[in-house]
Structure 1
Amino acid sequence: MTTNSFVLKFSCPNSVNVPSAVAEFLSRHALEARETQQYADSDTGKLFMRLVAGKQSGGIPIDLVRRAFAQVAQDHQMEWSIRVGERSARVLIMVSAFDHCLVDLLYRWRIGELPMHVTGIVSNHPIEAFAKHDFQGIPFHYLPVSKDTKQAQEQKLLEIIEGTGTDLVVLARYMQVFSRELSAKLSGRAINIHHSFLPGFKGAKPYHQAHAYGVKVMGATAHYVTADLDEGPIIEQDVERISHFDSPESLVRKGRDIERRVLARAIRYHIDDRVFTNGRKTVVFPD
């Protein structure tokens, strides 16, 4: 397979030799760096780099590039990936009763703002709950769940993910908690939107909690799913000023707007290979 460009992403122990090794690799294969971003974390001693590379003319044999870079990665203890620039991420969207994030993501996808392929929609509510929406042929999977059926339901979900070749699972206000086993299997490839500014106001009715405390800003948080509820590495956040005039209902309304834009940005950063996990934190290169 050949490609016109690719995205190289890696993290490794920081060393002055790493940038020169990458530059030598590009030169040896007649590749040019079109975009480069890097960050050295003094706390962890790790280097993070994202590189877009290509050729001025002709295609690039991507398998050859991967094999060649594997030796560089081994020499410098890298965690790395190479993605073909033209490939769109395959994304599965999960949703419960609140559909504002789902509708927003589908709109952004249809106008080309989010370069992804939607492999399906999964909900614990039947499709009749979304009768006002036209999914235009997107597969819809109704997977009801209860305490007694949770394990079987998650197994069906895994079968859908694997059967569709899904790269990323998006919890677009999916109001069910994954088991520790499922969270582990989806580590680094499941994003949740939490309707508050984490780490404060966790759990149910965060806007009502915020109102009770008289906060002056409210927000939303997109983070990776982990076994610890609402404590995964944070990808993106945003806030909005509020006042004593706001009611819980107006906070919910304003919160929906924040949730939509925060989740969309987090997905775009992830599918564009701009997010690195760094312990409990993330490194996110802006676009």
Structure 2
Amino acid sequence: MSLSLADQAVLTLSSVNRPGIVARVSGYLFEQGCNILEAQQYDDTASGQFFARIRFNRVDDTAPPIDAIREGFETVARRFDLVWRMRPCDEERRVLLLVSKFDHCLADLLYRWRIGEIRMAITGIVSNHPIETYRHLDFDGIPFHHLAVTRETKRQQETEILGLVEETRTDTVVLARYMQVLSDEMSAALAGRCINIHHSFLPGFKGAKPYHQAHARGVKLIGATAHYVTADLDEGPIIEQDVERISHQDSADDLIRKGRDIERRVLARALAWHLDDRVLMNGHRTVVFRD
């Protein structure tokens, strides 16, 4: 039995829940000479929607190639009106990282990428600050683009970013503490493939200086939220959140320092799950099949 990534694929699907979906999908994979390695499913009784993620492999060389299996699956998908995707596991997703002055999330993602913890092809790093801001980081040959932005040049700057996305065939854009609000037009262009890390446990303390807001309220928990970007500021579907307990002894600066650690791990988990096809959209929410 082959377990190489080249012989594996991930199938994700969603649809109105109805009898027979799992039986037909698993039956089809069996007919194609495939073996299911991992299967997760969720029936949202509130919305009547069904979601599934299946990782499978070709048992041996007598099975059709993944492309042919994907093409043949169209018949099953049409029968059940599935929204679906089948992606080979050896296909690296292409990721563009956007960052501003605070670089802790960027440094963390670069480290996880370098040691192979997050499999991705980084197509570039874009910042509204010059490269000298990050002189202590090793970009390891990753193209760096300094695209300064002002209120007057915002449209032009965003056009350049979208141009980079298209030129580099980028699949996913990550706002790794990129402290610029995207326009409605850019948010729409990147719908479902742009992840933001917000240094607050949304929906609380949105907008500027959330840690200062939290400190002023005397909160006992701080957190961070990774979510998909939408035109509604900080209202996009949430992928992952985490919190940490604090006390009355912590200053606003303490909250910021502790918050950096939460932001790093939350963004890393959200991006890894997204790249591994573990996040499925469910209206304004997400279904996350955690590993």
Per-residue Cα deviation, 1:176-206 (whole angstroms, up to 9, x for no partner):
0111111011111000000000000000000
What does residue 160 of structure 1 align with?
164
1:62, distance to aligned residue in structure 2 (A): 2.0
Deviates more, 1:35-44 or 1:60-69: 60-69
Please list every run of 5 or more consecutive structure 2 residues that lacks an aligned counterpart in the other structure: none
What does residue 11 of structure 2 align with?
8
Amino acid at match of 1:41: D
What does residue 113 of structure 2 align with?
109
Match of 1:68 among 69, 72, 90: 72
Per-residue Cα deviation, 1:87-119 (whole angstroms, up to 9, x for no partner):
111111000000000000000000000011111
CA contact (8 A) 1:3 1:60 kept: no
Amino acid at match of 1:19: V
- CA distance in 1 between counterparts of 2:138 and 2:239 reads 30
Alignment of 1:232-247 (within 5 A): 232-247=236-251
Amino acid at match of 1:21: R
TM-score by length of 2: 0.96
CA contact (8 A) 1:217 1:242 kept: yes
Please list every run of 5 or more consecutive structure 1 residues that lacks an aligned counterpart in the other structure: none
User: Given the alignment of the two structures, is residue 181 of structure 1 paired with residue 185 of structure 2, yes or no?
Assistant: yes
Moved over 3 A (4+): none
Per-residue Cα deviation, 1:155-182 (whole angstroms, up to 9, x for no partner):
1101101111111100000000111111
Alignment of 1:5-154 (within 5 A): 5-58=8-61, 60-154=64-158
What does residue 283 of structure 1 align with?
287
- Structure 1 SS opposite 2:142: coil
1:60, distance to aligned residue in structure 2 (A): 4.3
Amino acid at match of 1:83: R
**CA RMSD, Structure 1 to Structure 2 (Å):** 1.1
- Structure 1 SS opposite 2:157: helix
- Structure 2 SS opposite 1:200: coil
CA contact (8 A) 2:7 2:66 kept: no
- Structure 2 SS opposite 1:43: coil
- CA distance in 2 between counterparts of 1:101 and 1:23 reads 39
- CA distance in 2 between counterparts of 1:60 and 1:243 reads 59
- CA distance in 2 between counterparts of 1:206 and 1:92 reads 26
Deviates more, 1:44-53 or 1:142-151: 142-151
- CA distance in 1 between counterparts of 2:162 and 2:17 reads 36
- Structure 1 SS opposite 2:248: coil
CA contact (8 A) 1:201 1:210 kept: yes
- Structure 2 SS opposite 1:159: helix
1:17, distance to aligned residue in structure 2 (A): 1.3
Per-residue Cα deviation, 1:32-78 (whole angstroms, up to 9, x for no partner):
11100000000110110000111222264122112111111111111
What does residue 225 of structure 1 align with?
229
What does residue 198 of structure 1 align with?
202
Identity of aligned residues (%): 59
Q: How many pairs are equivalent?
A: 286
- CA distance in 2 between counterparts of 1:103 and 1:32 reads 38
CA contact (8 A) 2:280 2:286 kept: yes
- CA distance in 1 between counterparts of 2:6 and 2:15 reads 26
- Structure 1 SS opposite 2:73: helix
Match of 2:219 among 208, 215, 222: 215
Per-residue Cα deviation, 1:225-248 (whole angstroms, up to 9, x for no partner):
000000000000000000000000
CA contact (8 A) 1:218 1:255 kept: yes
